[in-house]
Amino acid sequence: MPALAVEPVDLGPRKVARRVLVNAPANELFGLVADPRRHHELDGSGTVQATVIGPDRLDRGSTFSMSMRMFGFPYRVTSTVTAFEDGRVIEWRHPFGHRWRWEFAEVSSADAPVPQTQVTEVFDYSSSKLAKSLELGKFPQKNAKGISATLENLRRRYA
């Protein structure tokens, strides 16, 4: 993977994934994403707002509600954490069934001055109740751009 570049990852149909190498330890990056109150700091889509109801740190089964804004309209969505491996994986499910997943894999490099982590973000709408509608609305393409911008924000934060 080219250093400091967001790249697509093919995980199969109805999964949009991107990854980037970040100059930070996996546990630190995971902690940032596991705190829903900090999601707006990274969001590259412009939809995530700062108002969150839920725990300070997510865990498997946690629910959290977040203020969002799309096409100028505010709304709120409550998600449930469906996968959780501390320091490695966190995933939450939207009420319509699509999922957002983050994976963190620390990589060793003798020439790296700080620990580096490969971060992958996935929008998985393979089990969504609205999969066809999401495709008609071009959400996979829009989310690909948002994910790329989010990962670039994360990379830049630790550059």
Q: List the domain boundaries for the chain.
A: 7-157
Q: Does residue 7 surpass a pLDDT of 50?
A: yes
Q: What is the pLDDT of residue 8?
A: 97
Angle at 86 between CA 156 and CA 53, to 5 degrees: 75
CATH fold, domain 7-157, is: Alpha-D-Glucose-1,6-Bisphosphate; Chain A, domain 4 (3.30.530)
Q: What is the pLDDT of residue 4?
A: 52
Mean pLDDT of the chain: 92
Q: What is the pLDDT of residue 94?
A: 95
Calculate mean pLDDT across residues 33-56.
87
d(CA 121, CA 91): 9
Tokens of 112: 């790296």
Q: Express each pLDDT in 71-124 by its tens digit.
A: 889 888 999 999 999 999 999 999 999 999 999 999 977 777 789 999 999 999
Q: Does residue 2 surpass a pLDDT of 50?
A: no
Distances (CA, A) of 25 to 13, 15, 34, 44, 120: 31, 26, 14, 21, 14
Calculate mean pLDDT across residues 5-25.
96
